[in-house]
Chains A and B, each alone.
Chain A
Amino acid sequence: MISNLTSSERQYALLIAVAVALAGLAMAALGRSDTLGVHGVIVMLFAGVVIYLIMSSLYGPEPTEDRAVSYYDDPIKVGIVLSMAWAVFGMFMGVWVAAQLAWPDLAFDAAWSSFGRLRPTHTSGVIFGFGGNALIATSFHVVQRTSRARLAGQISPWFVLLGFNLFCVLAISGYLLGTTQSKEYAEAEWYADLWLVIVWVTYFILYIATIARRKEPHIYVANWYFMAFILVVAILHIVNNLALPVSWGHAKSYTIWPGVQDAMVQWWYGHNAVAFFLTAGFLGMLYYYLPVRAQRPIFSYRLSILSFWGITFFYMWAGSHHLHYTALPHWVQTLGMTFSVMLLVPSWASAGNALLTLNGAWHRVRDDATLRFMMAAVVFYGLSTFEGSFMAIRPVNSLSHYTDWTVGHVHAGALGWVALITFGSVYTLVPALWKRERMYSAALVEVHFWLAIAGTLIYVFAMWNSGIIQGLMWRTYTEEGALAYSFVDSLVAMYPYYIARAFGGLLFLLGAVVGCYNIWMTVRSAPLAVRETDAPVVPAAVPGE
């Protein structure tokens, strides 16, 4: 990998790694009586490993082949591996926290392992670790193929990928240490947030510069989504995380947004993290890998336009549906509800467009579990966007809010849509990247598919049941007009569902482990493929054109 860099590039990379290590040193010194110091040490260790890797081949031979005639796939390979590793970590954490709700003593009486600290390691592990790495890797792959141009940088893709993973490590180790902003899905503290801004701006510049090199006149749909993902996530991240550190030696900061404004900013962020991280980014994946795998062009160009702009415009209004009946002014709640309902149109336009693309390829869906992953993902996408619009309606929300129904909804999206589309894309991508004929075992892809489907269904049904029961118990009155159930009554009713949910999650985790094994064996031993040219400039089959 490093042997594909020229020696001046290696020196340049070394310089960056040393600068990062020095920043770590400064953090360690300033924050020596604080968790900031621990994070300084972690930064130094991380940079140290990178320095070691570069040093060990600093004086190796120069790359021999002409790099301009090939795509830059090294960072993509590492990204896929990291993504799968984070998947196993994040899902394991999920199963563990789920089990803690059923058996609270599974925290072993330690501070770092109690529910409140573990829960964000699960959410960040799967959203950012698994999802984020998958998005970075696939976006690098898709932008090169659809632009027929090599990535516009040699070191910057590595900087983006490794820098992002450093952010993930800081965020997640922070939660275990008790360092958190407590903003859901944005818990990482100010210094990690600043670092992510640097990484993300590099990502954006790299992406746009690559698109600018394209040999195609038009920018392909998948790239619209990836661009929206990168851009809007930057805006959301910066605004939501504006904060004042207690001092330069403190990991702790106070957000600049107080009370009700903080609530609005937080859920504007939170909902659009769903929209632009977990939807737009993964739609980018869908718009490339689904047509490639199905060997059919996208059904409708018009629908693509409609759904892209609909999603980009409508989603940003919808966040306030997280705050129905709260102290947030009523007019904002109403706007949030209205736009959430309208969102169904572009969402279903996307889902319909994807399903109609499969028309004429249904026999492939039947025979090929990889394509079936993507098809199922689209179905779950359609279902959970419908459910989301429904739950955004105020009276429905009065029942569902604060209950497990919300958790079930999120997982219908996260497991059913995000994870399934990722696995489908990864199974398409891995043989292509490592130049294999196919995955090591089609049967194991099949096993993974059914574990994932079973896990998702058990999970979602358990949470629907518990959520609706809980919501109804809270609002049930006796004939005398008193509340019928105490809070603890409603808690006791939850236990069977908590156990079922943990079991569903476990199945899903097992599926991911099977996937890791299959990928590993593919890289090691699947037969090599003689592929039609897969290189820049030379025309290659591009879907939808």
Chain B
Amino acid sequence: MPELFHRKLERSAIGFVIAIIAAASVGGIVEIAPLFTIDETIEHAPDMRVYTPLELAGRNIYVREGCYACHSQMIRTLRDEVERYGPYSLAVESQYDRPMLWGSKRTGPDLARVGGKYSDFWHVAHLTNPRDVVPESNMPAYTWLARTTLKTDDLPQHLAAQRALGVPYTDAMVENAARDAYGQATPDTDFSSGVTERYGDKTLVSAFDGVTTHVTEMDALVAYLQVLGRLTGAAYEDTAAPEKKPDPES
């Protein structure tokens, strides 16, 4: 009987198309739609801040260079991972991430909580040539980052696009995006005080690559690496094994 029914279906191209769409749609709808409606999907983290323009620019470099092909940013709820990398990742920690960079392969270690683990100087040396720091490493050398000036003039457009998608950037943040990118990499200037004013005084302001005369792609990428895992302290609050929250200024 079902066979006869199928014989009929095979006679109609349109019928077949509709049947395929119907069969193929269910799974996606059932699994994706509730992620937007079920409240527990994403935890609440009132202390969560948005990326500064410099960090966002660094994130875009991370995307551009394909760091995600070797590094995950998602600590799973497994004992050895929590001991190796820190408290497991929460959904709220990537609520402003477009795209998410959870990754799928660990040729290198997880980076979800690498912020604050090393000094800026270490990162610059490591990115310039990983084998200077870790002789066994097979990570590529990114020498050109420190030589390349960061494009900052279009950062307001980037922030505006993010805001259009729902990231809570204020007007002042959007307007001052290019200034703030410069300010975050040049401590103790008028520019830098604007950054802490808008993004909170826990924001790391530093001469990331050691040179304050101009902002490079290295500044941006290191600023991003240093904020990983530190946009909110939520992960340290209700994990199975409570950990000490790192001091963002250290």
Contact = CB atoms under 8 A, between A and B. Distances in A.
Instruction: Note whether A and B form a binding pair.
Output: yes
Interface of A: 100-102, 104, 107, 109, 111, 114-117, 119-120, 175, 178-184, 208, 211-212, 217-219, 224, 227-228, 231-232, 235, 239, 244-247, 250, 252-266, 268, 301-302, 305, 309, 312-320, 322-329, 332, 335-336, 339, 398, 401-403, 406-407, 474-475, 477, 483, 487-488, 491-492, 498
A345 to B, nearest CB: 15
Contacts of B63: 180-182
A322 to B, nearest CB: 7
Contacts of B144: 111
Given A104-B138, A263-B100, A487-B109, A332 B31 contact: yes
Interface residues of B, number: 86
A2 to B, nearest CB: 31
B154 interface: yes
A329 B35 contact: yes
Contacts of A102: 138
Contact of B3 (A266, A302, A336): A302
Interface stretch (B72-80, B192-200, B206-214): B72-80
A217 B188 CA distance: 79
A63 B84 CA distance: 71
Contacts of B157: 246-247, 250
Question: What 5 A-B pairs come out closest when comparing CB atoms?
Answer: A116-B66, A316-B27, A259-B94, A325-B76, A317-B27
A491 B32 contact: no
Given A326-B102, A328-B91, A329-B41, 15 more contacts: A114-B65, A115-B70, A117-B66, A179-B64, A208-B17, A232-B20, A252-B158, A258-B166, A259-B100, A266-B100, A268-B28, A313-B24, A326-B74, A327-B94, A329-B35
B205 interface: no
Contact of A332 (B35, B95, B158, B162): B35
A398 B81 CA distance: 10
A256 B162 CA distance: 9
Nearest to A212: B13
Nearest to B110: A402
Contacts of A219: 10-11, 13, 16
A301 B96 CA distance: 50
A260 B136 contact: no
Contact of B99 (A178, A250, A266): A266
Interface in B101-156: 101-109, 130-131, 134, 136-144, 154
B159 to A, nearest CB: 10
Contact of A483 (B24, B32, B83, B141): B83
The CB with the most chain B CB atoms within 10 A, among A182, A319, A398, is that of: A182
Nearest to A204: B17
Contacts of B11: 217-219
A178 B84 contact: no
Given A326-B76, A402-B105, A262 B99 contact: yes
Interface string B1-19: 0110011001101101100
Contacts of B176: none
A245 B3 CA distance: 49
Contacts of A227: 13, 16-17, 20
Contact of A406 (B10, B20, B83, B105): B105
B144 to A, nearest CB: 5
Contacts of B106: 402-403
A302 B1 CA distance: 12
Interface in B11-54: 11, 13-14, 16-17, 20-21, 23-28, 30-32, 35-36, 38, 40-42
Contacts of B17: 208, 227, 231
Contacts of A407: 105
A interface SS class: helix
A107 B141 CA distance: 8
Contacts of A318: 27
B89 interface: yes
Contacts of A115: 66, 69-70, 140
B232 interface: no
A100 B23 contact: no
A264 B35 contact: yes
Nearest to B98: A254
Given A104-B131, A116-B140, A402-B104, A335 B31 contact: yes
A119 B80 contact: no
A326 B88 CA distance: 8
Given A245-B161, A258-B97, A329 B40 contact: yes
B172 interface: no
Contacts of A261: 32, 35-36
A308 to B, nearest CB: 9
Given A104-B140, A260-B91, A312 B20 contact: yes
Interface in B150-201: 154, 157-158, 161-162, 164-166
A250 B76 contact: no
Nearest to A123: B69
Nearest to A34: B154
B70 A116 contact: yes
Contact of A254 (B66, B83, B130, B162): B162
B68 A327 contact: no
B203 to A, nearest CB: 21
A264 B66 CA distance: 20
Contacts of A181: 63, 99
25 contacts: A101-B138, A104-B131, A114-B65, A116-B69, A120-B66, A180-B63, A184-B104, A217-B11, A227-B16, A257-B99, A259-B42, A260-B91, A260-B94, A262-B97, A316-B24, A316-B26, A316-B28, A324-B76, A327-B91, A328-B91, A336-B31, A398-B76, A406-B104, A407-B105, A498-B138
